[in-house]
Amino acid sequence: MVPGQMAKNPPFRRVLIANRGEIALRVVRGLRELGIESVAVHSDVDARCAHVLHADHAVPLGGNTATESYLDVQKVLAAAKASDAEAIHPGYGFLSENAGFARAVRDAGLVFVGPNPEAMDRLGGKKTAREEAIAAGVPVIPGIEHDDGDASLVAAAQQLGLPVMVKASAGGGGRGMRLVEREQDLADAIAAGRREAKAAFGDDRMIVERLVLPARHVEIQLIGDRHGHVVSLHERECSVQRRNQKVLEESPSAVVDEALRQRMGDCAVALAKRVGYDNAGTAEFLLDDQGRFYFLEVNARLQVEHPVTELVTGVDLVHLQIHVAAGGKLADALAGVDLRPRGHAIEARICAESPEAGYMPAAGQLRLVKEPEGPGIRVDSGVYTGWEVPQYYDSLLAKLIVWAPDRATACARLSQALRETAYLGIPTNVDFLRRIVDDTAFRCSRLRTDMLKLRPELAEGPKEPPEDLALAAAVLCQAVAPRGGAAAPAGGGAALGQDPSLVWQELAGFRLFEGKR
């Protein structure tokens, strides 16, 4: 297999990771397994972020906002030069799907651990991706991708039948998308969409697609090499989402059988081959209640939810990314490997946000972090006790991924793992995640992309006041634990709202357990 072979003869001596937090740390680990040194980069506020502490080398980028740090192409390239890195792994988000960055990396004589920029260009916009999919014989959502002015879009919408989605031609992800349910709202939606698209992408053209609902979100993980070979690593289902942000992801999907898996995989591979795709990527689809699937877009990067695929297929996607980026063949890396999915994996995204308070995100110090352990439990975390979560980046703290032989056991395992998870000091969505996992609809895999919108009580949580046990636990934690009920924070006590010395005063003269058990 790859790691053994590659560790003996690593294709790179040193790789820079142009990202932060959990994904940067996950790549550090993958590189170390291959015998490759890692170079972290960081903003000022991230100087003690987990990925920086774990990497072999660290280069400060300066600045705090993403624009003045992780998104600054020149700073990242300068850091790669200064640290003698031979390749750059972009992680997800930030510069990962920026074809201009991929070109700049190549022009600087370095290797970009991701798809070539030409393939990225062909899949980058909604319109171009849709055209490539049609040409590759991949089913797309009924709609039109040619914008001949407002009248043509209105006519298309009428012909498709409302409701429709109006999307920016150049857009990606959830940006520049609008749902239109009534004919009289079409003109306004198109005008607003054009303004937004013009500002965001410098291109005000729009496409119109029929709304597919109810639908499930099913995506295919792909990996390609530079020799024209592309392999499907099967589906992930990510139907539990809010405003196009995924909350829980799993593999395999309970509603995808072997025949459908084969057909979706073939479509995704055909599209990837058509555009010369040569690294890890994901083709996203909507699956309707008749079992028909429609292409949405390709995410030209390693995805947040890649661990579920790793757990059911046994491959390490970061190892494979490095292997193919160095010009290696998939046929060599995967020779003799049985890629059929085994068992069931589910990922929960742990975020610093409060679903109970309208999903308000939170920044601030984590005073106590307790991550779960046990059989079949994987935690990809980017935080630790004492870490101050900055306000500048997204709210993902860690990912909890479980594996079990079947879906029912995986659900039970995830619920139990969430039960023993604690991130205290700022609000998180841990309780929310557990409410979803314990919900009958989730347990029965009755999933749809709008389920969180239809079931607001899952976000709101129980209304009952805290039981006596909770109040008792609060005082006992403070009475028994050192320094005000949390392990001593690494970041110093100055930021505390509550002076920990007060507890010491109250405890003066008291020794824990007086030498007894």
Q: Which secondary structure element, helix H or strand E, spans residue 112, and what is its range?
A: strand 111-112
Instruction: Give the footprint of other proteins on residues 377-406 (CB under 8 A).
Output: 385, 391-395
Residues 412-451: x/- map of binding to other proteins (CB under 8 A)? ------xxx-x-xxxxx-xx--x-----------------
Residue 215 or 304 having the CB closest to other proteins: 304
Active site residue 301: yes
- Contact in structure between 246 and 447 (CB atoms under 8 Å): no
User: Is the backbone peptide bond immediately before 427 cis, with ω within 30 degrees of 0?
Assistant: no
Question: How many residues does the structure list for the chain?
Answer: 517
**Which of 227, 471, 490, 492 is in the footprint of other proteins by CB under 8 A?**
471
Residues 344-363: x/- map of binding to other proteins (CB under 8 A)? --------xx---x--xxxx
> Cα–Cα distance between 22 and 15 in angstroms, integer?
17
DSSP 147-166: ---HHHHHHHHHHH-SSEEE
Residue 317 or 433 having the CB closest to other proteins: 433
Q: Which of 27, 50, 34 is nearest to 113 (CA)?
A: 27
The yes or no reply on residue 91 touching other proteins (CB under 8 A) is no
Q: Which of 375, 235, 258 is nearest to 312 (CA)?
A: 235
Residue 375 or 462 having the CB closest to other proteins: 462
**Which of 200, 254, 368, 441 is in the footprint of other proteins by CB under 8 A?**
368
The yes or no reply on residue 494 touching other proteins (CB under 8 A) is no
Q: What is the closest distance, in whole angstroms, from the C-beta atom of residue 408 to other proteins in the complex? A: 19
Q: What is the closest distance, in whole angstroms, from the C-beta atom of residue 396 to other proteins in the complex? A: 10
- Contact in structure between 258 and 246 (CB atoms under 8 Å): no
User: Applying CB under 8 A, which part among 124-132, 188-196, 315-323, 366-374 lies near other proteins?
Assistant: 366-374
Partners of 240 in beta bridges: 248
The yes or no reply on residue 476 touching other proteins (CB under 8 A) is yes
Instruction: Give the footprint of other proteins on residues 497-516 (CB under 8 A).
Output: 497-498, 500, 503, 506-507, 509-510, 512-514, 516
Q: What is the closest distance, in whole angstroms, from the C-beta atom of residue 363 to other proteins in the complex? A: 5
Q: Which of 301, 367, 407, 448 is catalytic?
A: 301
Q: What is the closest distance, in whole angstroms, from the C-beta atom of residue 339 to other proteins in the complex? A: 35
Burial class (CB in 10 A: 0-12, 13-18, 19+), 170: buried
- Contact in structure between 314 and 342 (CB atoms under 8 Å): yes
- Contact in structure between 223 and 320 (CB atoms under 8 Å): yes
Catalytically annotated residues: 301
